[in-house]
């Protein structure tokens, strides 16, 4: 199964980390897309480290990040600087989507 996690706020970092760990431990794939205040999590090392986990793909809305003055310098190459097209792809490819 592919689990999509749409992150629109920076208030649930521990939930994103826990859900990702739980899904990966069960052999599922995880797709994470950040937008709006969720792009603020790009400043978190523990959040950014998720892109290095096997079975996890990550992207964020560049428009949201720029609008909130979120620095994208130093973000790992495994996190795709994208757009709502990445969100649409996640919605299409995921079997289930959680919005946090």
Can you name the CATH fold of 2-99? Hypothetical Protein Ychn; Chain: A, (3.40.1260)
Q: Where do the domains of the chain lie?
A: 2-99
The pLDDT, as a whole number, for residue 48 is 96
Tokens representing 74 are: 């130093």
| 47 within 8 A of 77, measured Cβ to Cβ | no
The pLDDT, as a whole number, for residue 42 is 96
pLDDT < 70 positions in the chain: none
- DSSP state, residue 99: E
Distance CA 48, CA 64 (A): 17
CA-closest candidate to residue 88, choices 41, 35, 24, 28: 35
pTM value?
Answer: 0.95
* Non-local CB neighbours of 41 within 8 Å, separated by 6+ positions: 7, 10, 13, 16, 34, 47
The pLDDT, as a whole number, for residue 49 is 96
- DSSP state, residue 11: S
The pLDDT, as a whole number, for residue 90 is 97
């Amino acid at each position: 199964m592919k689990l999509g996690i749409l992150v629109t706020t920076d208030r649930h970092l521990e939930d994103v980390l826990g859900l990702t760990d739980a899904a990966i431990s069960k052999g599922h794939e995880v797709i994470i897309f950040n937008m709006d205040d969720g792009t603020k999590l790009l400043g978190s090392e523990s959040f950014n480290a998720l892109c290095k986990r096997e079975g996890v793909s990550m992207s964020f809305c560049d428009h949201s990040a720029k609008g909130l003055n979120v620095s994208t310098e130093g973000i790992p190459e495994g996190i795709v600087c994208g757009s709502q097209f990445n969100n649409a792809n996640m919605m299409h490819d995921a079997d289930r989507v959680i919005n946090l």
